[in-house]
Structures are given as structure tokens and as C-alpha cells.
């Protein structure tokens, strides 16, 4: 459905996207996962024909995006990262404006937005600028859908939104996927990877890995130890100083400790920590998650760039 072929884009000296190729299949919920500055927005803006790639090509539903931008724009629904509806138009006015721009009407595709829109319909006379964050997000999604797009493009829809609204939002995307819409969505939140069929982990304009979230973890996940002790800061600095340590990072309540291969086991970890006067020591084997993998791939990628 979507295909990026060797796409690059730079802004002056800044290489935002370097030689990226990937595909999104029909009816897929595809995630672009990476921090600010990874190139997510640039990729999506090129996809919806708002930016031109410097090199490479992008196709959507068989059309070259650059040559057929008018057609492409009617095929995609785009929800940009910043709230970009008309703040001084009402909820209803925004929706009918977006419908009319595409030569459609609210009535024509109401069924598609109904589950989302009916939650904000009681506030349809309210100005968009006066809505809460969660409601703005629902309105923006309704506006992106009202012309019945084939592909839905969402740029960080859950940034700045609370946990409950985030959860509901991903449920809505699941339903839209079931309705046959292909979705490409970007997010800086690693935990949202699990809600996607496939994800691309991106960093500094490059794809680190692309696969189903499960396979990414299976392929790249490395064993680590979950470590806890009373003095958390001392625990980090002591473990950083240990010759057996490959890496150590805080992950919520625990530190994730990776040891150099062929090195120490649990007894040696505990002995080392006891020697350094730690109390209430916990050490158990941990299961890697997508964020562990992201960190490993980032580190490898940095090394490669330094060598190259």
C-alpha cells in the first residue's frame, strides 16, 4: 500500500532522513517508533506530499506521491502532530469544513466516524480551542477520516495525552484497522509498539530495525539482570564501575544490567554488591522489552557510525 524507496531528506546541514526504504502492507497498523528528531515527521510529511524528498521515491496505492499529489491527498487522511484544526470554529463546523474540502459531507461517511465522533457530539457547538486534550484528539481524528481515506497517517497522536485517552485512542485505531483502513502512526513512546502489527524503530534518520514487535525483541533481545538495592544512585555508579558490566540503565524500579559475555553469574553480582556495602539486594533474570532492544540497537548504530 505504501512504499518508500531509498528516500533521503536534509534541511541544510541536518540529515533528517537518510536512505530509508520500507513498505506498509494493506490493512496494516504500522508504527514509526523513535525519539524527537529521529525523522518521523519528515517521513510522514513526505508521504502525504507536503514535503519533497531530496532523493528516492514514495508510492501510495500504486501512485507516485510527487507526480500524483492531488490524487494522493484524496486517498490519505492526515493528522499532524500539532493540533491544526480551526480553534475558533465549533466542533461541528470543523468537521463539515473538512468534509466539504474533499467534496463530501458529514452524513455521507458518518458511519465511519460514529464511534469516535459520538463521544464529542454533545459538545458539537463548542469551539475547538475550548476542548480538552482528549476531545481535541478525537475531533482531529474525525476530521482526518471524514472523507473516507484509504490510508490514515497519524503523527504522534498520543503525545501529551493522558494514559486513559491514549489507551482509548489505540482501541479506536484497532477498530479503524478492522474497518479496512491502512494506518501508519508515529510515536516516541516505546510501550506503544506492542499495539502495532509491525514497527520501524528509527533514530537519527535511519531505521534500526523493522518487524513485528515480538520478532524484534526475539531477534535482538539480550539477556539482562534486574537489579535493585536500597541506595539507588550508588548502585548505578558502582555497577558502572564494575569491570564485568557491559551496560547498566535504570528501568523503573530496577536497573537493567548486562554483563560482558562469558562473565559473572548471579552469585558474583551479589558478592560484588555486598563488597560495596549494598543492602536489600535483589537480582533476578529479566525479560528484554522493546526499549531494551532500542537501546542496544542505538548503541550498535552509534559504534558503526564512529567506525565509518
Residue ranges in contact with other proteins by CB under 8 A: 34-38, 122, 132-134, 159-165, 167, 188-191, 203, 231-234, 236, 249-253, 291, 294-295, 298-299
CB nearer to other proteins: give 69 or 251.
251
User: Closest approach of Cβ 267 to other proteins, in Å?
Assistant: 24
Q: Angle at Cα 36 formed by Cα 113 and Cα 34, nearest 5°?
A: 75
User: Closest approach of Cβ 295 to other proteins, in Å?
Assistant: 5
CB nearer to other proteins: give 98 or 292.
292
* DSSP per-residue codes, 153-185: EEESTTTT--HHHHHHHHHHHHHHHHTT-EEEE
User: Closest approach of Cβ 79 to other proteins, in Å?
Assistant: 18
Instruction: Report how far residue 169's alpha carbon sits from residue 166's, in angstroms, rounded to the nearest whole number.
Output: 5
Backbone phi, psi, residue 250, to 5°: -70, 135
User: Closest approach of Cβ 291 to other proteins, in Å?
Assistant: 5
CB nearer to other proteins: give 35 or 67.
35
Which grid coordinates are listed for 249? Answer: 540503565
CB nearer to other proteins: give 26 or 302.
302
CA 164 from centre of chain: 17
User: Closest approach of Cβ 66 to other proteins, in Å?
Assistant: 30
CB nearer to other proteins: give 253 or 261.
253
301-306 own/partner pairs: CB under 8 Å, 24+ apart: 301/203, 301/204, 301/206, 301/208
Amino acid at each position: 500500500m505504501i512504499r518508500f524507496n531509498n528516500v533521503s531528506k536534509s534541511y541544510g546541514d541536518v540529515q533528517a532522513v537518510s536512505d530509508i526504504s520500507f513498505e506498509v502492507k494493506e490493512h496494516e497498523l504500522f508504527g514509526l517508533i523513535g525519539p524527537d528528531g529521529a525523522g518521523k515527521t519528515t517521513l510522514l510529511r513526505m508521504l502525504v506530499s507536503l514535503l519533497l524528498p531530496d532523493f528516492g521515491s514514495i508510492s501510495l496505492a500504486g501512485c507516485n506521491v510527487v507526480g500524483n499529489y492531488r490524487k494522493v491527498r484524496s486517498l490519505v487522511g492526515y493528522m499532524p502532530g500539532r493540533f491544526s484544526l480551526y480553534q475558533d470554529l465549533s466542533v461541528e463546523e470543523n468537521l463539515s469544513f473538512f468534509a466539504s474540502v474533499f467534496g463530501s459531507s458529514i452524513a455521507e461517511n458518518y458511519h465511519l466516524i460514529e464511534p469516535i465522533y459520538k463521544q464529542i457530539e454533545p459538545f458539537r457547538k463548542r469551539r475547538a480551542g475550548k476542548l480538552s486534550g482528549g476531545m481535541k484528539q478525537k475531533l482531529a481524528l474525525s476530521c482526518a477520516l471524514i472523507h473516507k481515506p484509504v490510508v490514515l497517517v497519524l503523527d504522534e497522536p498520543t503525545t501529551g495525552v493522558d494514559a486513559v485517552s491514549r489507551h482509548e485512542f489505540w482501541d479506536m485505531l484497532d477498530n479503524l484497522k478492522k474497518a479496512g483502513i491502512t494506518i501508519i502512526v508515529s510515536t516516541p513512546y516505546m510501550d506503544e509498539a506492542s499495539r502495532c502489527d509491525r514497527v520501524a524503530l528509527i533514530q537519527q534518520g535511519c531505521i534500526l530495525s523493522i518487524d513485528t514487535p515480538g520478532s524484534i525483541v526475539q531477534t535482538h533481545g539480550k539477556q539482562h539482570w534486574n537489579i535493585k538495592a536500597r541506595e539507588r544512585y550508588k548502585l548505578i555508579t558502582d555497577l558502572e564501575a564494575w569491570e564485568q558490566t557491559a551496560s547498566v540503565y535504570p528501568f523503573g524500579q530496577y536497573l537493567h544490567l548486562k554483563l560482558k559475555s562469558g562473565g559473572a553469574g548471579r552469585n558474583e553480582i551479589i558478592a560484588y554488591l555486598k563488597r560495596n556495602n549494598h543492602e536489600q539486594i535483589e537480582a533476578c533474570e529479566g525479560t528484554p522489552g522493546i526499549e531494551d532492544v532500542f537501546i542496544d540497537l542505538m548503541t550498535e548504530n552509534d559504534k558503526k557510525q564512529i567506525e565509518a
